[in-house]
Amino acid sequence: MSDTGGIAPNRHLLPGRHERPSVADPVAKTNPDGVDFGWVMQVTFVVTILVGSPLVALLSTTVDLPTWGARATFAIRAGAPIWLTTNVAAYLYAKYKRDETGGDQTTSDAATTADDPDE
């Protein structure tokens, strides 16, 4: 039996192919320069669901929506501006907070500054 270097044998019977054992890859960590767009998108999603969905439902009571197609079209037309407004507001908030805090201090800088005995 040959050593495959930790790679599992091919279980799909494809010649010359090997698979890695089913172990999750480590989670990547980032330190974004500028605005953290992942955070902006997460906040946009949550706020749009919590605030935008009830707002679209409330707006739908003022319009006659006889078919599912009309309802879907209305939800898209009313929801898109709400999503866009939420997204821009979250981005501007993140940018404002980054500018306010300076945004240049990394986590390693914060750890060394906290341990500085001169302060």
Per-domain residue ranges of the chain? 39-101
Secondary structure (DSSP) of the chain: ----TTPBPPSS--TT--B--S-PPPPP----SSS-HHHHHHHHHHHIIIIIHHHHHHHHTTS---SHHHHHHHHHHHHHHHHHHHHHHHHHHHHHHHHHH-S---HHHHHHHHT-TT-
The predicted pLDDT at position 107 comes to: 46
Structure confidence at residue 113 (pLDDT): 47
Query: What is the arithmetic mean of pLDDT over 89-101?
Result: 87
User: Span 72-81, mean pLDDT?
Assistant: 95
Task: pLDDT band for 34, please (50, 70, 90 cuts).
Answer: confident
Arithmetic mean of pLDDT, 78-92 = 95
* Residue 63, pLDDT score: 94
> Could you give the percent of the chain with pLDDT greater than 70?
61
Report the C-alpha gap between 87 and 57 in whole angstroms: 20
Average pLDDT over residues 28-53: 86
Angle between helices 53-60 and 68-101 (to 10 degrees): 140
